[in-house]
Structure 1
Amino acid sequence: MGYPSHQNVVVMRHGDRLDNFEPMWVVQAKRPWDPPLVEAGRVRAFCTGRKLRDSLGFPIHRVFVSPFLRCVQTASEVASALCAVDIGFDATSSAGIALDPSKVKVSIEYGLCEMLNTEAIRQQSAPKDGNFDFNISELESMLPNGTVDSTVERVYKELPKWGETVQGSRSRYAEVIKALADKYPSENILLVTHGEGVGVSVSAFLKDVTVYEVEYCAYSELRRPISLDLQSFTAGDFSVRTKPGVTGVGFCSSLQVNGPVDDDFSV
């Protein structure tokens, strides 16, 4: 079997989160910092998974996902679409879909988590003791049976500390994207994360660009040349293959920006 000449990395935002549609949910929620998807978000996630399966032109081998519930639920729908044996033209969710779990492996990665600061998580919603209390076994049980690879060593062994800076979180996203790609150089990977992470996947690898919008389930596509042998690999720089606005990521040359740009797309 020949080695691939390129590696592809897709970075995707989660689907529609409940608290943006039902603001009072936060008041009664036990975990107000960790909203689930609304049903429309699940549908959007599954349909985006179908789109990735049908239009990328290459298979996804591994999925890495932020431990926040909305991301895990998104990854579950996307992985189901990627693993589906046969999808009817009218299918809009993973319900009742036969899967081949050997097609994709899924792992939770702390380094893909939301920015842990008040820019992304409202102060009143954050846990008072700084403990976000993620139950990894419970989250893994939400993913399609047979797809979970819990043996993967995480890039971030634990969550970043609460109060990280915006620039610190952006550096984290860029670091994790590259580290996961380097960890699996012979595989194409999908990272399910938050809006800020998708924005960084463009701005960190494309010079003088301002990202001003990341829609729910928007995604970017990165590619780099790679040369592998049995014991090592060499890789070139990532290029951004995403076109502005085509997959839900809005960006432009920083030279085109006149005045302030609202880039608060992390939630």
Structure 2
Amino acid sequence: MASSGDAAPEFYQNVVVMRHGDRVDNFEPMWVTFATRPWDPPLIQQGRVRAFATGRELRKKLPFTLNRVFVSPFLRCVQTAAEVVAALSAVSDNQDPNKLTGDGVPIDPSKIKVAVEYGLCEMMSRAAIRLDVVPKDGNWGFDIPKLEALLPAGTVDKNVKRVYEKLPQWEEDPNLHTRPRYKQIVKDLADKYPTENLLLVTHGEGVGVAYSSFQKEVEVYDVDYCGYVQLRRPIFKKDQSFTAGEFEAIVHNGQTGIKCIENKTAQ
């Protein structure tokens, strides 16, 4: 969607793209030896704590309200989204500082809606998932109702139609398929909900692509757990319809967990 010349935007749409929290297999190397789903590690407790704290940070620091969350079907992302949503939808702005996770936090489920989106999933290749843990029968076994049950009660939007109706094929090429997928899914989801601000909970590569795609001449080399980037674009209204300008990355003074360098590619 293109901008409307020199017309002033009706408003700005914001999209926050976030990585999941601390995954268990990076802290307990033996976990994969007894895991029934070694390709789908959950968060460790510190990951839940980090996710909840990041949700509090977003609620406190962002100058806008997040209306809708989309999340990768991988367990670590759904668990991260559950913590962030609990923080964002908490009934009180003055949350108990002794609360380290969203367990037992009173929420208002009307504040935010959540849906699982396959297009936000991990890089479906050996570049991200070790061959020795890939399901031998090709069945990744994502049980969407079971995953939705992990999200705060009343926040799941059952009416959302996914952009990707199934997982990308295994061994998708990172450059030809995965990175373009991550860039396009941001635009596709934003275009579906142009009057809402979105949070996309995904994987490190997805955050890196979101930042480098809309912040020119940078190369992302690492994204911390729960690192995130804020994107913004102008929305124009004409004859009861909306059009959008280009996304730009909003660079915060505070730490967002994205490590990058200027792109030194010769012109």
1:142 and 2:144 correspond: no
CA contact (8 A) 1:245 1:251 kept: no
Partner of 1:66: 72
Q: In structure 2, the residue corresponding to 1:196 is in which secondary structure?
A: helix
1:50 and 2:56 correspond: yes
Partner of 2:6: none
Shift of 1:231: 4.2
1:193 and 2:202 correspond: yes
Which amino acid counterpart does residue 29 of structure 2 have in structure 1?
P
Which amino acid counterpart does residue 210 of structure 1 have in structure 2?
E
Residue 176 to residue 99, structure 1, CA distance change in 2 (3 Å): same
Shift of 1:245: 7.7
What is the aligned counterpart of 1:28 among 7, 31, 34? 34
Q: In structure 1, the residue corresponding to 2:132 is in which secondary structure?
A: coil
Q: Unpaired runs of 5+ in structure 2?
A: 1-8
Give me the whole-angstrom Cα distance separating, in 1, the residues matched to 2:123 and 2:239. 37
What number of residue pairs does the alignment pair up? 255
Q: Unpaired runs of 5+ in structure 1?
A: 258-267
CA offsets per residue over residues 36-95 of structure 1, 9 Å max, x none?
Answer: 000000000000000000001100000000000000000000000000012112221112
CA contact (8 A) 1:109 1:155 kept: yes
Give TM-score scaled by structure 1 length: 0.92
Alignment of 1:1-267 (within 5 A): 5-86=11-92, 87-167=95-175, 168-228=177-237, 231-243=240-252, 246-255=255-264
Give me the whole-angstrom Cα distance separating, in 1, the residues matched to 2:220 and 2:107. 36
Which amino acid counterpart does residue 105 of structure 1 have in structure 2?
K
Shift of 1:129: 2.1
Which amino acid counterpart does residue 102 of structure 1 have in structure 2?
S
Kindly report the root-mean-square deviation, in angstroms, between the aligned alpha carbons of the 2 structures.
1.6
Which amino acid counterpart does residue 69 of structure 2 have in structure 1?
V
CA offsets per residue over residues 145-188 of structure 1, 9 Å max, x none?
Answer: 00000210111010000000111100000010000000000000
| Higher RCO by CA contacts (8 Å cutoff, separation 6 or greater) | 2
Give me the whole-angstrom Cα distance separating, in 1, the residues matched to 2:241 and 2:123. 33
Give me the whole-angstrom Cα distance separating, in 1, the residues matched to 2:98 and 2:256. 22
Shift of 1:244: 8.4
Give runs of ≥4 in structure 1 deviating > 4 Å: none
Give me the whole-angstrom Cα distance separating, in 2, the residues matched to 1:7 and 1:80. 22
Q: In structure 1, the residue corresponding to 2:214 is in which secondary structure?
A: coil
Give me the whole-angstrom Cα distance separating, in 2, the residues matched to 1:121 and 1:131. 14
Give me the whole-angstrom Cα distance separating, in 2, the residues matched to 1:4 and 1:64. 24
Give me the whole-angstrom Cα distance separating, in 2, the residues matched to 1:210 and 1:36. 29
